[in-house]
Amino acid sequence: MDTFETTLGQANIASIIIFLLFVAITLGITYWAAKRTKTTSEFYAADRSISGFKNGLALSGDYMSAASFLGIAGMVALNGYDGLIYSIGFLVGWPLVMFLIAEPLRNLGKFTFADVVAFRLKQKPVRIASSIGSLMTIVFYLIAQMVGAGALIQILFGLPYEVAVVIVGLVMIAYVTFGGMLATTWVQIIKAVLLIGGATFLVVITLMQFNFNPIELFRQASLKYSDAVLSPGGFVTNPWDAISLGLALILGTAGLPHILMRFFTVPDAKQARKSVFVATGFIGYFYILTFVIGFGAMVLVGQDIIRGVDSGGNMAALLLAESVGGQFFLGFIAAVAFATILAVVAGLTLSGASTLSHDLYVSVFKDGKTDEAGEVRVAKISTLCIGALAILLGLSFKGQNVAFTVGLAFAIAASANFPSLVLSILWKKYTTKGAVASILTGAGLAVVLIILSPTVWVEILRNEQAIFPLRNPALFSMVASFLVGIIVSYLTNEPDARAKFEDEKLRTYLGIGSE
Amino acid sequence: MNIKNTNNHKGSSMSIEQEDVRRILESDKFKSLVRKRVSVTLSLTIIMLTVYFGFILLIAFNKEFLAMKIGEHMTLGLPIGIGVIVFAWLLTGVYTRWANSSYDKSVRDLRNEIMKI
């Protein structure tokens, strides 16, 4: 079994046909959505017409990146149990999104989470600060996605890296510019169904080899690679590291602009709530699938072959697909992985564009005074800018080690976006200066500390010893952001913001006056 | 009666009378609704964080516990890890159930009261 030959990297007819079919269908949807995308509410929020269930699927589509599908399956295939620890961190942020964020966000906001932070504070400074947090999160997330896309497609289809990056960029720009949130939502839904369906099928045909008995799978894994694969290994060695990463993943999930933006697409708070329930279910189910897929690859493909194709193990799921389902199924899963990247990048671009147009252009430069058509036009131009930036980032970071940028994006989201959002929803004495100071502290510290951390200082800049000990800065940057926000708010009194907090409650808790 | 928010960016100016708004905000019913929501959501948040970081600390300080055998080729860590995922989802279910029945009902009552003004 360990002498398995793969066709990965050769043009696979099945995968090209399936991928082209996906692009054709989604562009068809974009054409349909374009006719329904004229107003700002349609462009940014699909006219709040998405049901809770569909939004739940779209949320899971936004969140399940190719990195989590291929990366976590690979981690499990090479390290066993440790891959599960990682995926659990990605999941447990969702209940917190539900308890603390989803409904107040839906009730208070309009198109972006900055609407909520700035709700009762001074518009300009808060919008500028939260745009910085928002755009930094998006850019670092985009770098990882675009570089991953280029590299992945190169392996999957044998296409040159640059061509892959440009294709992803152009198709995604078409979705967002013409079809706005409606098209982006349907791209996410289709991708989520394909990904969950494909992964389910892969698990079923894998388990078929073990008489549908997962325990038999684990038994063979431990016989082949010792019992160590079934219990925690080296992933958590320093508890502070694990806690800091855990905080980044959990609170970062609750601060990702493209996830938060999705809550404005549903009609009301009840549907927002339902969508998190649905999303958490699908994402949790998906992570359990990737765990089984990882073990399947470990046993049926073998760690040496997986490492031979890609030292990080990222091709484990695809190798397993080929081993149990043949070339056609490999093509299907490869096409799904490509579609996954496209969808995630589209979601990120839309939220970046809305920050540029809604938060910066309209609320800061135009004092909130623009006509509908003007704002939609600016939003579309912003989409082109972010799309072009994404392509540029993909091209310029080719071959660089950018794996840390996902951790950084989550750290910034947890340290800049999350504290400001929570404090503005829950705390009466929060002030404009407090918000600005909290966001800038969180974002700035996250970046500085990650540069000084072992992740960048030692592994990328090749210094001997890291200046900051933790691999992910969230524990420090997030706590500092909260503290600075609270202290500065106590030092600066803003009676206006306090008075409005009382009135805001009617909207936060009862949804009266919500968009 | 139609409640319109006349200025989305400033948010607070409603066409219902300020006095009535104040009366509702200060009513026991509204205050207990807010208290209830804050206590339910914060408790659930603390439960989730405790379970997750409990799991992480267990890995950091007691790997042997998770490596304990239950059956020949099965460790305690497997059902516990999968259990954390399922638990997180069930917790969103618990909240949804509470919010759909209890919380939404109180919201409806209060909204109706406001409509009567």
**The two structure tokens encoding residue B65:** 């516990």
* pLDDT given at position A29: 95
Instruction: Please count the other Cβ atoms lying within 10 Å of the Cβ belonging to residue B8.
Output: 13
Give the closest residue to A235 by CA, choosing from A131, A79, A437: A79
**How far apart (Å, rounded) are the C-alpha atoms in residues A104 and A395?**
39
Q: With a CB-CB cutoff of 8 Å, which residues 21-40 of chain B face chain A?
A: 21-22, 24-25, 30, 33-34, 37-38
Residue B5 has pLDDT above 50, yes or no: no
Q: From CA B79, how far away is CA A289, in angstroms rounded?
A: 14
Where is pLDDT greater, at A373 or A444? A444
Which of A422, A421, A423, A407 is closest to A473 using CA atoms? A407
| DSSP per-residue letters across A65-95 | -HIIIIIHHHHHHHHTHHHHHHHHHHHTHHH
User: Which amino acid is it at A298?
Assistant: M
Strand partners, B69: B75
CATH topology of domain A13-398: Sodium/glucose cotransporter (1.20.1730)
Sign of CA dihedral A6, A11, A14, A18: positive
Chain B residue with Cα closest to A228: B67
Interchain proximity A227–B53, CB inside 8 Å: no
Amino acid of residue A376: V
Q: Minimum mean pLDDT among A232-236, A306-310, A378-382: which range?
A: A232-236
Give the model confidence (pLDDT) of A129-147 as tens digits.
999 999 999 999 999 999 9
Q: CB of A230 within 8 A of CB of B73?
A: yes
Give the pLDDT of residue A334.
87
pLDDT band at B17 (very low <50, low <70, confident <90, very high): low
Is B104 an interface residue toward A (CB < 8 Å)? yes
pLDDT at site A124: 94
Q: For a pLDDT cut of 70, what percent of chain A falls above it?
A: 99
Q: In percent, how much of chain B has pLDDT > 70?
A: 85
Which residues in chain B have Cβ-Cβ distances shorter than 8 Å to A511? Answer: 107, 111
pLDDT at residue A294 greater than cutoff 60: yes
Sequence spans of domains, chain B: 30-116
The span from the CA of A251 to the CA of A235, in Å, is 20
Q: What is the mean pLDDT of residues A349-370?
A: 92
pLDDT reported for residue B7: 41
- Beta bridge partners, B75, equal B69
Q: CA quadruple A108, A113, A117, A123: dihedral positive or negative? A: negative
User: Cβ A95–B63 below 8 Å, yes or no?
Assistant: no
- A277/chain B closest Cα distance in angstroms: 6
The packing angle between helices A418-426 and A474-491, to 10°, is 40
Percent of chain B surpassing pLDDT 90: 54
Q: How far is CA A427 from CA A421, A447, B38, in A?
A: 10, 27, 12
Question: Hey, which residues 61-90 in chain B have their CB within 8 Å of chain A?
Answer: 61, 63, 66-67, 71-75, 77-78, 81-82, 84-86, 88-89
- Measured between CB atoms, which of B33, B85, B107 is closest to A91? B85
Q: Which of B93, B96, B80, B84 is nearest to B49 (CA)?
A: B84
Asked whether residue B19 carries a pLDDT value surpassing 90, the answer given is no
Residue A3 binned pLDDT confidence (cut-offs 50, 70, 90): low
The predicted-structure confidence for B25-58, as pLDDT tens digits, reads as follows 888 999 999 999 999 999 999 999 999 999 999 9
**Six-digit token pair at A231?**
């219990």
Mean pLDDT of chain A: 92
CB of A66 closer than 8 Å to CB of A314: no
Residues in chain B: 117
pTM: 0.93
Chain B residues in contact with A513 (beta carbon < 8 A): 3-5, 11, 14
